[in-house]
């Protein structure tokens, strides 16, 4: 049997490299799901929201503030 060309050899080795050697397994029924600590996530979201919403108001609201300040006379 003739040897494969370089392109076929490359494609074969690439397909072998990309396939998973074993399927994902499920956790056993006897294992309990771990509790997710949500408090740090909510604390981080609160800290982020304290900065995000005022800055969003400034960035998106400056055209309205300018039009109110100049009464549309510019």
Local confidence band at 29 (pLDDT 50, 70, 90 cut-offs)? confident
Which two structure tokens, joined as six digits, stand for 37? 């600590």
Span 30-47, mean pLDDT?
Answer: 90
Longest CA–CA separation in the chain, Å: 86
pLDDT at 73 over 80: no
d(CA 58, CA 53): 9
Which two structure tokens, joined as six digits, stand for 30? 């006897």
Report how far apart, in Å, the C-alpha atoms of 42 and of each of 14, 18, 39, 62 are.
Answer: 43, 38, 5, 30
Report yes or no on whether pTM surpasses 0.85.
Answer: no
């Amino acid at each position: 049997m003739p040897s494969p060309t370089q392109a076929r050899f490359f494609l074969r080795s690439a397909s072998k490299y990309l396939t998973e050697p074993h399927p994902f397994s499920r956790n056993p029924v006897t294992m309990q799901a771990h509790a997710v600590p949500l408090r740090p996530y909510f604390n981080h979201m609160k800290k982020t929201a304290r900065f995000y919403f005022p800055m969003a108001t400034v960035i998106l609201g400056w055209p309205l503030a300018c039009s109110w300040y100049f009464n549309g006379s510019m």
